[in-house]
Structure 1
Amino acid sequence: MTPAPHRRGTPAALAHRGFSREGAENTLDAFRAARDLGYVWVETDVNTTSDGVVLSFHDDTLDRVTGRSGEVSNLTWEQIRSERVAGAGCITRLADLLTELPELKLNIDVKDEASVTALPSLLHELGAVDRVRVTSFSESRRRRTLRRLRELAGRSAPTSSGQGGMRLLLVCSWLGGPSWGLARRVAARWIEPFDTVQIPRRHRVRGGVEVELVTPRFLDFAHRHGIHVHVWTVNDAAEMAELLELGVDGIVTDRADLLAGLLEQRGQWPPSGG
């Protein structure tokens, strides 16, 4: 199989939870820092409080980034709002991110069950459906979030596959031939269609063996079926360059500064809004 050619367009650049070298992830300051570097797309996560406030927050508990214990789903916004992330910025409501930084587009990972209904309602209320890509590691949450969004807004948002869709695409790329069309029809009840797959470059399997996932064969297969491939989370400039030469369509990174610098050297900065 012929390797995927290098794509000369502008790759998607996604600042993972914004940009903060101090660990103040998913805060307005981190998202502003990414914007100031020239980013159009940022990656974020959502969890929802007990009183229905959608947060830009990765974990289901406060423990790791605030030092306070407690599950987000068991706390109200009033109980959470004064907490600091890495001792710096406050926890961010998704509504504030959308309204205070209207120039940004958001790749949103739905982390919890409450967000399946709360997120579509918020996006519809703020008219922000066209500014997001919706994804989740859970295919069920992704599918139900997208369907609820269609019910409210009359249209869906761009979407990246969950784990089930990613695995299906990987298996079909190994099988080759007409496998994808058949697999999509068989799995249609469980796996919502997707235009993008966001995937690690490698995966460690039993015995500690690392398997290369993002290969020329996989990229060629995905591109032939109209699926963009974004790789996460890449923080080394040399590896970023390797992946871009390989033909990936986008990179998700904690080191938004390094990726911006590399793309500028390649004449691919600033990024497009696509």
Structure 2
Amino acid sequence: MSSTYLAPSGPRVLAHRGLAVDAPENTLLAFAKAIAVGADYLETDVHASQDGIAVISHDPRLDRVAGRAVAVGQLTMAELGRVDLGHDQTFSSLEATLDAFPEARFNIDVKEEAAVEPTIAAIARTRSANRVLLTSFSERRRQRLAALVPGAVTSVGGSGVLRFRSAAYLRSPGSAARALHGGVALQIPERSGPLRLVTRPLIDLAHRVGAEVHVWTVNDPADMARLLDLGVDGLVTDRADLAIQVLAERS
């Protein structure tokens, strides 16, 4: 099964944890709201529940989103499904989320090693490999995911991004291709501390070696337009509604 994730060509709007306007982040409601405004891509995160199920959650703990001093991995999926996140929403498994939005494309950040096998299982059961992009800050974990889900595409992890930036500085396509190690995208912030990651040479080199550049997290329409002018291929944003409007105005 070949991936359709990057077809057709961008620019792309990736709804960061859905559209959490009048909806809790990373919930079925937030994803539904993102799709309702025209987003085709849903960015999300997974951890593993106590009983080994891939669960949609950015944080490893419930403190911020539910006010409970407990880790995701300390609760079963059934227990997580009873947690009140507001707006009649609760935690959802990755499998249930993929099933709920069968036409959407998912950008899945696998946050921990314990979530690797459950993520693979959820993708296999829903036959979703061709519509997901898998990523992780850990480049080793990202490469493992690429090997275990050959029908999916991946974006480069943290160490790979730094190697690619060095390749862009040296203007070395060979080094850039090796840094990608099979990844199809660089998903990066515009800056990391004082270090500027998103530059015209980096974008040009990424395109030269067949990769896309997706920038996170971009919420201001002026910044969206500026980055699109620079040549980025995707905007990872909390405000998919605004990004869709920016793209419409540019077209």
Q: What whole-Å deviation, never above 9, does each CA across 1:103-135 have from its counterpart, x for those lacking one?
A: 211000000111111111221121111110000
Per the TM alignment, residue 10 of structure 1 is displaced from its structure 2 partner at its CA by: 3.6
After TM superposition, what 4+ stretches of structure 1 lie above 6 angstroms from structure 2?
none
Q: What whole-Å deviation, never above 9, does each CA across 1:148-187 have from its counterpart, x for those lacking one?
A: 22xxxxx331111010111110011011235516x72xx7
Per the TM alignment, residue 90 of structure 1 is displaced from its structure 2 partner at its CA by: 0.9
- Give the direction of change, closer, same or farther, for the CA distance of 1:148–1:125 in structure 2 (3 Å limit): same
Taking the TM superposition and a 5 Å limit, the aligned residue runs for 1:96-245 are 96-149=96-149, 155-180=150-175, 184=178, 192-204=181-193, 210-245=194-229
Q: Which amino acid aligns with 1:263?
A: L
Match of 1:32 in 2: 32
Q: Distance in 2 between matches of 1:195 and 1:160?
A: 6
Pairs aligned (count): 243
Moved more, 40-49 or 76-85: 76-85
- Give the direction of change, closer, same or farther, for the CA distance of 1:77–1:249 in structure 2 (3 Å limit): same
Contact map agreement 2:237 2:243 (CA 8 A) in 1:
yes
Q: Which amino acid aligns with 2:130?
A: D
TM-score, structure 2 as length reference? 0.91
Match of 1:3 in 2: none
Q: Distance in 2 between matches of 1:201 and 1:173?
A: 15
- Give the direction of change, closer, same or farther, for the CA distance of 1:104–1:174 in structure 2 (3 Å limit): same
Q: Distance in 1 between matches of 2:201 and 2:159?
A: 20
Q: Distance in 2 between matches of 1:16 and 1:54?
A: 18
Per the TM alignment, residue 51 of structure 1 is displaced from its structure 2 partner at its CA by: 0.5
Contact map agreement 2:47 2:72 (CA 8 A) in 1:
yes
Contact map agreement 1:120 1:148 (CA 8 A) in 2:
yes
Q: Distance in 1 between matches of 2:172 and 2:186?
A: 20
Per the TM alignment, residue 78 of structure 1 is displaced from its structure 2 partner at its CA by: 2.1
Per the TM alignment, residue 85 of structure 1 is displaced from its structure 2 partner at its CA by: 2.3
Give me the identity figure in percent.
42
Match of 1:207 in 2: none
> SS where residue 113 of structure 2 aligns?
coil
Match of 1:92 in 2: 92
User: Does 2:245 align with 1:250?
Assistant: no
Give unmatched runs, 5+ long, in structure 1.
1-8, 150-154, 205-209, 268-274
Contact map agreement 1:117 1:145 (CA 8 A) in 2:
no
RMSD: 1.7
Contact map agreement 2:95 2:125 (CA 8 A) in 1:
no
Contact map agreement 1:47 1:60 (CA 8 A) in 2:
yes
Match of 1:66 in 2: 66
Match of 1:79 in 2: 79
> SS where residue 218 of structure 1 aligns?
helix
Contact map agreement 1:233 1:254 (CA 8 A) in 2:
yes
